[in-house]
Every structure is written in structure tokens, then in C-alpha cells.
Amino acid sequence: MRTTLSIDDVLLRQLRQKALDSGKPFKQVVNDTLRAGLHQAASPQRQPYRCPTFSIGALAPGVDLSKANQLAAGLEDEALLEKLRQSR
């Protein structure tokens, strides 16, 4: 099937060079390159990223993880107060 494409100059030079290097017709190199690109886009090669998990050990007595945000805020407040004390 015939169609008209606008190909960037740099890509055109690369495709022509690939055709010269391989001894294949330009048309075949373009079709093979498009086919390979479409195949690669259709089937991702990479494995999904998995975030490793680690045990933090036993909780300290009185720590309730259902209130983790409150705990984090309290720790941040303590750290800020300590910095303010040291800057005086």
C-alpha cells in the first residue's frame, strides 16, 4: 500500500544509512523498523517495579499504628522544637 509520510531529516538519514549497511531496500528497512517499534510498544519488556518491604520489629509499648499520622506529627514537632532550642 502506498502512503505519504513526512519523516524528520535525521531519521531519514539514519534509515538510508541502515538500508545501505544492510543491503536491504529502503522500503523494507522502513517497514521492518516500524514493525519492530510497534511490536516493542505492544509488549513492554520491563518488569513492574516492586518496592521491597522490611520488618520494623516489635512496636514499642503504647504505640498505636492506627494513629501513625499523629505520631509522625508529634515527632516532627519535637524535632522542630529541638532545632529552635539549639538556635538560641
pTM (two decimals): 0.47
Please report whether residue 28 resides in a domain. yes
Please report whether residue 2 resides in a domain. no
Could you tell me which of 17, 38, 15, 37 has the C-alpha nearest to residue 27? 15
Q: Is the pLDDT of residue 8 over 90?
A: yes
Please report whether residue 67 resides in a domain. no
Of 18-27, 28-37, 40-49, 63-72, give the lowest mean pLDDT range.
Answer: 40-49
Domains of the chain: total: 1
Per-residue pLDDT of 55-77, as tens digits, reads 878 877 877 777 888 888 999 99
- Domain residues for the domain of 30 are 9-42
Please report whether residue 13 resides in a domain. yes
Could you tell me which of 18, 44, 43, 42 has the C-alpha nearest to residue 31? 18
